[in-house]
C-alpha cells in the first residue's frame, strides 16, 4: 500500500469522524426540542479493486421506525377525533344543567306539573295561576334556548371543519414543498435530515386532522394517502374544498367536503375517513347533536301535547266567546273522518255558568250524528250550525276550526265521560286544538290518524327533494319527487315516494302505521341517512308542506323544540286558564260551570304521568311511556353519552400517549448514548489524525534517505 493511499484512508476517516461528531452535536443540542428526531449518519467502507480505501458517510437519516410512526399517527388521529367529540358534547350536556338541581331543565318539567297541583287547591287564586303559567312558559323558553344552543354547537363544529380544511391544505402544500427539498438533497447526497424532521412534524399535525397513510418515496420524502387511497401528497398536493353552511338550524343541509388530487378528479372526502378532528366534528355535527336535538323536541312536543290534552278536557270560567283551533294540516272532511265516541259543544252564560245551548256529536268512522240527526264530515259545519240554532257559529278557515258564541256568551267543549271522542288517541277538542294551552306555529305531532284513502290536499306537480347520505356523511344521491296526479290520496303519495325509478325506493320505503304516522324504513347496512333538501309543496287549505305535515326527517322534527309557548291570551289574562270542567249532566238553563271548580287543575297536574305514545327520535325507538319517564330516561341518556364520550376520549388519549412515548424512546435523543458515540468518534478522529502524522513521518524518513 502506498503512502498516498494511507493518507487518503486517513483523510476519509478524519472527514467521516467530523461528520459523525457534527451529527452527534446536533442531536445533543436538540435533546429538549419537541418533535426532534435523532439523526443517524450511515457510515460505509470504501474499496478500490477489492482493497479497502477508507470510509465515508453514505447518508444522514432520521432514526424513524415506520411501524411506530404509523401507530403514533393512527393513535393521534383517533385521540383528536374523540377529543373534539367529547369537548362539544360536554357543551351540549351542560346546557341541560344538573338533573338533581332545581334549576336544571328536567327538574323544571316536574315543577310545572307541581304548580298546577298547587293551583287546584285554590282555583280562583290569581297568583297561583300566574305562577303555573310562568313556570310553564319558562320550560318552553328554556327548551328553545337549549335547542338554539345545540344548533350553535353544530354551527361551531361546521366552522371548525372549514378551518381544519384550510389548515390541511396549508399543511399539504408545505409537505409537498419539503418533498422537493428532500429529493434534491438526496440526489446531491446532501443532508436532508432537517427538512425530514420538519416534514415529520407537519405530518403529525395533518394526522390530527384526518387519518393518513404515510409511505417513504424512493427519491426521498413521503407519499401520503387518505384511508380511501386518495393521494394527498407525494405527486403534487391535493386540494380540499368546503363551503360552510352559514347560519345553522335544525333543518340545515350541509355541503360536502371535496378533495381533488393533483391533476385528478374531484371526490367526496368523507368516504373512507375513519378518524381525526374532521371526523369527530362531522360526527358531532351530523349525528350526536342532531340526535340530542330530536330527543329534546320529542320530549317538549309531548309536554305541550299532554298539557293541551288536559286543557282541552277543561273549561275556563267564564268560558271564552270564541274557541279557535290549531292548523290541523288537513281539510275539515279529512280531519273529521276516523273519529269515534262522543263530544259536546256547549254555549254557556258567562255570568251564571248556565248552559244555554248544546250540540251533542256522536262519531262513527265516516259518519256522525249531531243532536241525534244524521250528518257527514262533508256537511258537518252546516249541520252543526243548524243544531246550535244561532247560539254559536262554527267555521273552518286555513286548516283551523273556529266556534264563536252569539252575543256575550261563551263556548266550552267536553267529551262524553263514558265513550269519549277519539282519533289517533286524541279527543275532538284536543285533535283540533280548540282549547290548547300551548300553541305552536307548525304541526307538533305526526300520528294524525290519516289513512291511505284520505285526501292529502297537495296539488299535483309540486316537488320535494330528498338527500341521502352514507354513514360517513358522504352524499349518496339527491332525489326529487313530485306529487302525483290522480285522486289525491295519501296512498298515491306514498306510492310515488316509494317508486324505485322516480322516488326513494332504492334507499328505503315509507309506510303509515296504525296511528297514521308516516315512517321511513331505510335499506342497507349501515342504513343511509335521509334529509329533506327542499320542499316546495303547499297544502290547500292549511298551507303546510308535506315534510311539515308528516314530520319527514329528523331535522323537521327537531325544529319543533323552539316553537312552543303559552297561548298569548291566557298568558296576558291568567283568568282564562281552564281549571274547571263542564258538567254535561246539567240541563239547559242549569249551571254547568262554577268558578270554584279545580278538578281541571288536577288533570293538568297529572298530565306528566299519563302514558303517551312517543315516536322514534334520535337513537331512541320511542314507545308508550309517560312524559316524566321519558324526561328521566333522556336525562340519564345525555349524562351516559357524555360519560361514554369522556371514556372514549381518555382511552384514545392514553393510547396516543403510549404510542408517542414508544416512538420517542426509539427516535428521541439519549444523552448517554450520544456521549458514548461522541467519545467513539473523537477517538476515531484522533486515530485518523495519528495515521496522517505517521504517514508524514514516513514521508520525512524517505525524503531523508534520498
Please give the Cα distance from 433 to 308 (Å, whole number): 8
Q: What is the pLDDT of residue 82?
A: 95
Q: What is the pLDDT of residue 6?
A: 81
Q: What is the dihedral of CA 66, 72, 77, 83, to 10 degrees?
A: 180
Q: What is the pLDDT of residue 130?
A: 95
- Work out the percent of the chain whose per-residue pLDDT is above 70: 100
584-607 confidence digits (pLDDT tens): 999 999 999 998 899 999 999 999
Collect all residues with Cβ–Cβ distance below 8 Å to 360 and sequence separation of at least 6: 342, 344, 370, 371, 372
Collect all residues with Cβ–Cβ distance below 8 Å to 686 and sequence separation of at least 6: none
Largest CA distance in the chain: 152
Q: What is the pLDDT of residue 454?
A: 92
Residue 616, helix vs strand vs coil = coil
Q: What is the pLDDT of residue 216?
A: 85
Residue 6 or 339, more confident: 339
In 573-658, where do the E strands start and end? 611-614, 623-626
Q: What is the pLDDT of residue 25?
A: 84
Three cell numbers, residue 259? 378533495
Three cell numbers, residue 336? 273529521
Q: Is the pLDDT of residue 182 over 90?
A: no
Residues in the chain: 706
Scored b (16 or more CB within 10 A) or e, 51-77 reads: eeebbbbebbbbebeeebbbbbbbbbb
Confirm if 314 and 581 have CB atoms less than 8 A apart.
Answer: yes
Three cell numbers, residue 444? 307538533
Which DSSP symbol is given to 608?
A: G
Q: Is the pLDDT of residue 83 over 70?
A: yes
233-261 confidence digits (pLDDT tens): 998 999 999 998 888 999 988 999 999 98
Q: Backbone dihedral region of 196: left (phi > 0), alpha (psi from -120 to 50 degrees) or beta? A: alpha
Three cell numbers, residue 6? 494511507
Collect all residues with Cβ–Cβ distance below 8 Å to 662 and sequence separation of at least 6: 68, 71, 72
113-172 confidence digits (pLDDT tens): 999 999 999 999 999 999 999 999 999 999 999 999 999 999 999 999 999 999 999 999
Q: Give me the helix-helix angle, 126-187 and 193-209, nearest 10°.
A: 150
Q: Which residues pair with 624 in a beta bridge?
A: 613
The pLDDT of 263-275, averaged and rounded, is 86
Three cell numbers, residue 617? 327520535
Please give the Cα distance from 358 to 435 (Å, whole number): 17
Q: Kindly give the residue spans of alpha helices, DSSP state H, lying in 355-409.
A: 380-388
- Closest by alpha carbon to 553, among 468, 633, 634, 639? 468
626-658 confidence digits (pLDDT tens): 999 999 999 999 999 999 999 999 999 999 989
Residue 1 — pLDDT band, cuts 50, 70, 90? low
How many helices and strands in the chain, by DSSP H and E?
A: 17, 25
Give Cα separations from 423 to 432, 572, 605 (angstroms). 11, 32, 24
Instruction: Determine how β-strand 39-48 pairs with β-strand 51-62.
Output: antiparallel
Please give the Cα distance from 28 to 39 (Å, whole number): 10
Q: Is the pLDDT of residue 405 over 90?
A: yes
Cell match 313556570: residue? 135
Q: Which residues pair with 82 in a beta bridge?
A: none
- Closest by alpha carbon to 252, among 160, 142, 146, 148? 148
Q: Is the pLDDT of residue 78 over 70?
A: yes
- Closest by alpha carbon to 279, among 210, 228, 232? 210
The pLDDT of 398-427, averaged and rounded, is 95
Please give the Cα distance from 488 to 510 (Å, whole number): 17
Residue 578, helix vs strand vs coil = coil
Q: What is the pLDDT of residue 426?
A: 95
Mean confidence (pLDDT) of the chain: 91
Q: What is the pLDDT of residue 54?
A: 82
- Closest by alpha carbon to 497, among 521, 472, 526? 521
497-545 confidence digits (pLDDT tens): 999 999 999 999 999 999 999 999 999 888 899 999 999 999 988 889 9
Confirm if 446 and 518 have CB atoms less than 8 A apart.
Answer: yes
Confirm if 435 and 323 have CB atoms less than 8 A apart.
Answer: yes
551-567 confidence digits (pLDDT tens): 998 999 999 998 899 99
Residue 271, helix vs strand vs coil = coil
653-694 confidence digits (pLDDT tens): 999 989 888 877 777 787 888 788 888 888 888 888 888 888
Residue 544, helix vs strand vs coil = coil
Please give the Cα distance from 532 to 562 (Å, whole number): 19
Amino acid at each position: 500500500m502506498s503512502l498516498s493511499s494511507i493518507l487518503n484512508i486517513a483523510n476519509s476517516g478524519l472527514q467521516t469522524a467530523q461528520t459523525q461528531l457534527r451529527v452527534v452535536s446536533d442531536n445533543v443540542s436538540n435533546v429538549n426540542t419537541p418533535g426532534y428526531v435523532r439523526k443517524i449518519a450511515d457510515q460505509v467502507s470504501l474499496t478500490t479493486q477489492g482493497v479497502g480505501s477508507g470510509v465515508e458517510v453514505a447518508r444522514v437519516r432520521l432514526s424513524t421506525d415506520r411501524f411506530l410512526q404509523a401507530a403514533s399517527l393512527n393513535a393521534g388521529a383517533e385521540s383528536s377525533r374523540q377529543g373534539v367529540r367529547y369537548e362539544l358534547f360536554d357543551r351540549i350536556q351542560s346546557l341541560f344543567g344538573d338533573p338533581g338541581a332545581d334549576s336544571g331543565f328536567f327538574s323544571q318539567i316536574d315543577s310545572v306539573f307541581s304548580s298546577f297541583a298547587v293551583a287546584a287547591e285554590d282555583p280562583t287564586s290569581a297568583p297561583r295561576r300566574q305562577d303555573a303559567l310562568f313556570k310553564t312558559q319558562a320550560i318552553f323558553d328554556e327548551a328553545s334556548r337549549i335547542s338554539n344552543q345545540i344548533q350553535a354547537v353544530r354551527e361551531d363544529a361546521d366552522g371548525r371543519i372549514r378551518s381544519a380544511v384550510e389548515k390541511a391544505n396549508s399543511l399539504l402544500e408545505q409537505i409537498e414543498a419539503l418533498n422537493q427539498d428532500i429529493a434534491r438533497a438526496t440526489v446531491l447526497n446532501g443532508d436532508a435530515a432537517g427538512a425530514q424532521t420538519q416534514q415529520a412534524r407537519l405530518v403529525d399535525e395533518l394526522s390530527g386532522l384526518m387519518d393518513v397513510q404515510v409511505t417513504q418515496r424512493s427519491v426521498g420524502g413521503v407519499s401520503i394517502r387518505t384511508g380511501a387511497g386518495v393521494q394527498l401528497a407525494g405527486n403534487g398536493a391535493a386540494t380540499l374544498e368546503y363551503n360552510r353552511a352559514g347560519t345553522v338550524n335544525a333543518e340545515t343541509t350541509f355541503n360536502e367536503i371535496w378533495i381533488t388530487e393533483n391533476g385528478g378528479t374531484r371526490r367526496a372526502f368523507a368516504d373512507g375517513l375513519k378518524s381525526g378532528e374532521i371526523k369527530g366534528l362531522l360526527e358531532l355535527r351530523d349525528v350526536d347533536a342532531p340526535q340530542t336535538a330530536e330527543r329534546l323536541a320529542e320530549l317538549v312536543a309531548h309536554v305541550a301535547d299532554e298539557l293541551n290534552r288536559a286543557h282541552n278536557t277543561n273549561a275556563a270560567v267564564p268560558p271564552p266567546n270564541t274557541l279557535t283551533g290549531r292548523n290541523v294540516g288537513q281539510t275539515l272532511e279529512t280531519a273529521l273522518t276516523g273519529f269515534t265516541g262522543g263530544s259536546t259543544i256547549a254555549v254557556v252564560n258567562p255570568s251564571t255558568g248556565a248552559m244555554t245551548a248544546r250540540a251533542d256529536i256522536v262519531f262513527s268512522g265516516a259518519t256522525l250524528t249531531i243532536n241525534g240527526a244524521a250528518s257527514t264530515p262533508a256537511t258537518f259545519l252546516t249541520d252543526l250550525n243548524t243544531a246550535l240554532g244561532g247560539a254559536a257559529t262554527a267555521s273552518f278557515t286555513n286548516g283551523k276550526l273556529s266556534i264563536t258564541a252569539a252575543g256575550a256568551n261563551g263556548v266550552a267543549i267536553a267529551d262524553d265521560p263514558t265513550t269519549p271522542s277519539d282519533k289517533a288517541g286524541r279527543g275532538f277538542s284536543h285533535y283540533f286544538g280548540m282549547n290548547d294551552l300551548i300553541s305552536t306555529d307548525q304541526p307538533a305531532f305526526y300520528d294524525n290518524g290519516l289513512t291511505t284513502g284520505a285526501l292529502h290536499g297537495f296539488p299535483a306537480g309540486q316537488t320535494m327533494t330528498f338527500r341521502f347520505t352514507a354513514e360517513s356523511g358522504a352524499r349518496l344521491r339527491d332525489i326529487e319527487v313530485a306529487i302525483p296526479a290522480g285522486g289525491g290520496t295519501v296512498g298515491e303519495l306514498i306510492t310515488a315516494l316509494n317508486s324505485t325509478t322516480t322516488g326513494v325506493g332504492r334507499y328505503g320505503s315509507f309506510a303509515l302505521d296504525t296511528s297514521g304516522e308516516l315512517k321511513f324504513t331505510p335499506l342497507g347496512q349501515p342504513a343511509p341517512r335521509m334529509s329533506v333538501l327542499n320542499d316546495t309543496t303547499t297544502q290547500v287549505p292549511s298551507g303546510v308542506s308535506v315534510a311539515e305535515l308528516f314530520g319527514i326527517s329528523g331535522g323537521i322534527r327537531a325544529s319543533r323544540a323552539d316553537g312552543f309557548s303559552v297561548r298569548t291570551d291566557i298568558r296576558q289574562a291568567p283568568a282564562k286558564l281552564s281549571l274547571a270542567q263542564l258538567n254535561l249532566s246539567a240541563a239547559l238553563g242549569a249551571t254547568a260551570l262554577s268558578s270554584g271548580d279545580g278538578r281541571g287543575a288536577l288533570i293538568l297536574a297529572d298530565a306528566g304521568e299519563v302514558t303517551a305514545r312517543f315516536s322514534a327520535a334520535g337513537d331512541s325507538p320511542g314507545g308508550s311511556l309517560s312524559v316524566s319517564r321519558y324526561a328521566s330516561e333522556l336525562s340519564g341518556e345525555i349524562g351516559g353519552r357524555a360519560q361514554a364520550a369522556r371514556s372514549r376520549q381518555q382511552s384514545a388519549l392514553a393510547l396516543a400517549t403510549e404510542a408517542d412515548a414508544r416512538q420517542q424512546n426509539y427516535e428521541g435523543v439519549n444523552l448517554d448514548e450520544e456521549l458514548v458515540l461522541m467519545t467513539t468518534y473523537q477517538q476515531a478522529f484522533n486515530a485518523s489524525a495519528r495515521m496522517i502524522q505517521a504517514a508524514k513521518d514516513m514521508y520525512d524518513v524517505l525524503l531523508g534517505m534520498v
